[in-house]
Amino acid sequence: MEEATKKEQNTKFEILPILRDRYSPRTFSSTPISETELRTLFEAGRWAPSSYNRQPWIVIWGIKGSKTYERIFNCLSNFNQSWANNAPVLLLNAYKKTTEEGKENFHALHDLGLFMGNITAQSQHLGIALHQMAGVKYQKAKKEFNFPEEYHVATAVALGYYGGDPQKLPEDLREEENPDNRTRLMQREFTFNGDFNNETGLYSSNQETVLTD
């Protein structure tokens, strides 16, 4: 946890430390993650809200050294494979695209996000870091892990305790490993107390209230 909290982020409002101090590393401590610790994270995810309580999420998990870990790793994009083998654990996340009636579940991806939000907060509480990845060969993963047609493989996650040596990363990724380099959009760019304004960074003239960042 020491690596994650070495510098407090300059948030504009006071927020929970587990949200403020979180970042997504590509290097991890060599400290192993136990199945009990993983089950604790999954339990946190289990209690996430979901539309009609459908809980459409599915997780495939593998601990480094296992066959499942290698199978997940082989489904990552080439870019993510260049660093993800630093992680003690890999996850593959999928969701069920349809409802019990066979209709499209428009909220399933949102619900998977809430599930991972719970896991992310619980992980940070335990000093465990997550790096979530969009770069997944999802069709290959779907076939590899025998998902039925109504499921979609969405993301992968590298997971481990904070730490590790950035010098083990490809050179072009080492600078990105510094958590102090994180940036975020200002609130004025994505919150609107009135009509949406597509001119990034400008407030709509129909806004009722304006708070400066």
Instruction: Clarify whether residues 15 and 76 are in a common domain.
Output: yes
- Overall average pLDDT of the 165-174 stretch: 82
Predicted pLDDT of residue 197: 83
Predicted pLDDT of residue 173: 84
Predicted pLDDT of residue 9: 67
Predicted pLDDT of residue 6: 46
Instruction: Clarify whether residues 166 and 96 are in a common domain.
Output: yes
Instruction: Clarify whether residues 192 and 95 are in a common domain.
Output: no
Domains identified in the chain, total number: 2
Confidence of residue 8 (pLDDT cuts 50, 70, 90): low
Confidence of residue 176 (pLDDT cuts 50, 70, 90): confident
In percent, the amount of the chain with pLDDT more than 70 equals 89
113-152 pLDDT tens trace = 999 999 999 999 999 999 999 999 999 999 999 999 999 9
Phi, psi of 170 (to 5 degrees): -55, 145
Instruction: Clarify whether residues 103 and 19 are in a common domain.
Output: yes
Instruction: Clarify whether residues 207 and 147 are in a common domain.
Output: no
Instruction: Identify which of 58, 25, 49, 12 has the alpha carbon closest to the alpha carbon of residue 124.
Output: 25
Predicted pLDDT of residue 174: 81
Predicted pLDDT of residue 136: 98
- pLDDT of residue 169 exceeding 50: yes
Q: Give 91's strand partners.
A: 61, 157
**Which residue range forms the structural domain that includes residue 25?**
3-182
Instruction: Clarify whether residues 57 and 109 are in a common domain.
Output: yes
- In the chain, the DSSP E strands lie at 57-63, 89-96, 128-133, 151-161
